[in-house]
Chain A
Amino acid sequence: MSLDVVLSVHDLTIAFQRRTVIRGLSFKVFAGDTLAVIGPNGSGKTVLLKALLKIIPYRGEIIWKSGVRLGYVPQKVSADRQMPLLVRDLLEAQAQFLKLPNSQVRTVCKDVGITPELMNAGIGVISGGQFQKLLIASALLGDPQILLFDEPTASLDELEEERVYELLERLRRQRALTLLLVSHDLTLVHHAATSVLCLSTAAGPCFGTPDKILTPEVLATAFGASEQLYRHHHQFGEETQS
């Protein structure tokens, strides 16, 4: 593996019982890249991240550069928000399990903007944006070089969305992170991504720079010509022309 390649995926196939979600996928990610994974619902974006984390079975090769640490921000958590858990309880439990000093919890919280008041808040009473901060802080424990982020702004309002984008960009620069983002937000993808992997059951996967992948033709083939997509295109086209 070349020095700069942090992830090499070759001939990856992921199947559940009789349904093949991803077939024969190959791509590489370089250090410092921001790879956006896009595709219609059910195309296997979240499944791909889980396979990259090696928490679900797959066939083919997934080779991470030796010694890299991964951080993961899931799209949803199964947590019962009524559990008597403080933000602090969760982060400290993770630090204890990973055998990290508590000072790292403080550093990560400072970087992410988790205040002492938020640390002592219950996970059931914090806002969507604060919850996303908690998930990002959790992913950053252990000083990962690569962050896998599933739908960073799903279920957030616009203001919270904007804050999460800013936070993500600041963290990427501060910590020299390589990012793998699953996103439906083509504006975010266009602004943030250095490469794009488009998963599509209809047209098969395609991989390349945003300029090559984020074209109306490629997107229409991948997503199907839905009204919603045209609306996306329209907004996206306006922004890219400005």
Chain B
Amino acid sequence: MSHTQDIYAILLTLGFATAAGLVGSFALMKRMVLAGDVISHVALPGIGVALLFHFNPLLGGAISLLLGTLLIAQLQQRTGLATDAMIGVVFAGSLALGAAITPQEDLEGALFGSFAQLSSFGFIVGLIAVLFIIGFIFHSKDQLVLGLFSSELAAANGVPLDSLNLQFLLIFSLTVLIGLKFMGALLAGALIMLPAAIGRRLSSDLKGFLLISSMSSVFAVGMGLLLCAYFGPHIALGPATTLVAAVLFGLALLRRVD
């Protein structure tokens, strides 16, 4: 076991937590936090196939996600059912298929995440992705705010809304994909949702919201890592982190809002 590889994994996990807090803040304002759950579940069959055939699970997850999205669009077109119904069908089907094809010994890790050592290459690729997500949020936050406030006002000011929304969706999916590794398919969406809900509860302005969301996300992941270190195989990183975030949210509810 290399100490450096552990540090790589810890740094990347905390970096991902920061990115998830920031992306989650805007996802909450756009009312799309639950999309994280859908995306992570749809990625599961691809992760299963990747684990089965020994290639990178994130690549498998990304391919599965792309196919799932196309499937939802096709089914909706052919059946005329509403998008949420189609998402529900693909969501449940993906989870079942993913659970069926993922090798039994890898299933828990795929569903609930795990803390695994990272190679230098894996660390650098992951770090670039995390920095890209954080950079996108800071670069686009003014446009995102204008679009959230009023799509017409944003368009009148020259914000390219269609392209911005697509970019945000891709960034959102990328964040969930990275989260799959640490949080697992069942709980990858939790780190998008819970810290943002905590930030929303404790802040009244945008800077405070972004800061508290990302800090509580980092705190939850940090504590999750410690819990995993102490309790070893009894608890996976996904549930440990989600539990800490849920407790933080409970504490945030104690704050009186006038």
Asked whether, in the complex, the Cβ of A85 is within 8 Å of the Cβ of B145, the reply is: yes
Q: Which residues of A have CB within 8 Å of B199?
A: 84
Contacts known (A80-B29, A80-B31, A122-B204); A93 close to B142, Cβ less than 8 A: yes
Identify which of residues 43-66 in chain A touch chain B, using a CB-to-CB cut-off of 8 Å.
Answer: 50, 53, 55
Q: Tell me the minimal C-beta distance from B192 to chain A in angstroms.
A: 17
Interface size range on B against A: 20 to 34
> Closest CB-CB distance, A75 to chain B, in whole Å?
9
B173 to chain A, nearest CB (A): 23
Render A76-87 as a binary contact track against B, CB cut-off 8 A, 1 for contact. 011110011110
Within the assembled complex, what's the spacing in Å between the Cα atoms of A88 and B149?
13
The interface on chain A, measured as residues whose beta carbon lies within 8 A of the other chain's beta carbons, has a size of 26
Within 8 Å by CB of B146, from A86, A93, A135, lies A93
Q: Whole-angstrom distance from the CB of B249 to the nearest CB of chain A? A: 16
Interface residues of A in 15-72 (CB under 8 A from B): 50, 53, 55, 70, 72
Q: Once the chains bind, are B204 and A84 in contact (CB under 8 Å)?
A: yes
- Residue in B31, B146, B205 whose CB lies within 8 Å of A84: B205
Minimum CB–CB distance for B126 against chain A, Å: 30
Measured between beta carbons, the chain A residues less than 8 angstroms from B145 are 85, 89-90, 93
Which chain B positions have C-beta within 8 A of A135? 153
Q: Which residue of B lies closest to A77 (CB)?
A: B150
Tell me if A84 and B209 are in contact (CB < 8 A). Answer: yes
Expressed in whole angstroms, the minimum distance between the Cβ of B29 and any Cβ of chain A is 5
Which B189-238 residues have C-beta < 8 A from chain A?
A: 199-200, 203-209
| Residue from B141, B156, B204 with most neighbouring chain A CB atoms (10 Å) | B156
Known interface pairs A80-B31, A94-B146; A89-B206 also in contact (CB < 8 Å):
yes
Expressed in whole angstroms, the minimum distance between the Cβ of B235 and any Cβ of chain A is: 33
Question: How many Cβ-Cβ contacts under 8 Å join chain A to chain B?
Answer: 77
Check B125 for interface membership: any CB of A closer than 8 A.
no
- A interface footprint on B136-166 (CB within 8 Å = 1, 0 otherwise): 0000011101101111110111010000000
When distances are taken between beta carbons in the complex, the residues of chain B under 8 Å from A155 are none
Q: Shortest Cβ distance from A16 into chain B, in angstroms?
A: 16
A114 shortest CB reach to chain B, Å: 16
- A72 CB contact (under 8 Å) in B29, B153, B208, B209: B153
Chain B nearest CB from A23 CB (Å) reads 23
The 8 Å CB contact of B29, one of A83, A86, A98, is: A83
B205 and A89 contact, CB distance less than 8 A: yes
Assuming A53-B155, A80-B31, A122-B204, is B209 touching A90 (CB within 8 A)?
Answer: no
With A55-B155, A93-B141, A138-B153: A84-B148 Cβ-Cβ less than 8 Å: no
Chain A interfacial positions (CB closer than 8 Å to B): 50, 53, 55, 70, 72, 74, 77-80, 83-86, 88-90, 93-94, 96-98, 122-123, 135, 138
Q: What would 25 A/B residue contacts be, using CB atoms closer than 8 Å?
A: A50-B152, A55-B155, A72-B156, A74-B152, A74-B156, A78-B149, A78-B150, A79-B148, A80-B29, A83-B29, A83-B149, A84-B200, A84-B203, A84-B206, A85-B205, A85-B206, A86-B205, A89-B205, A89-B206, A93-B145, A94-B146, A97-B142, A122-B205, A123-B149, A138-B153
Residues of B bordering A, CB below 8 Å = 29, 31, 141-143, 145-146, 148-153, 155-157, 159, 199-200, 203-209
Pairs of residues from A and B, 6 with the lowest C-beta to C-beta distance, nearest first:
A77-B150, A93-B142, A55-B155, A72-B156, A93-B145, A97-B142
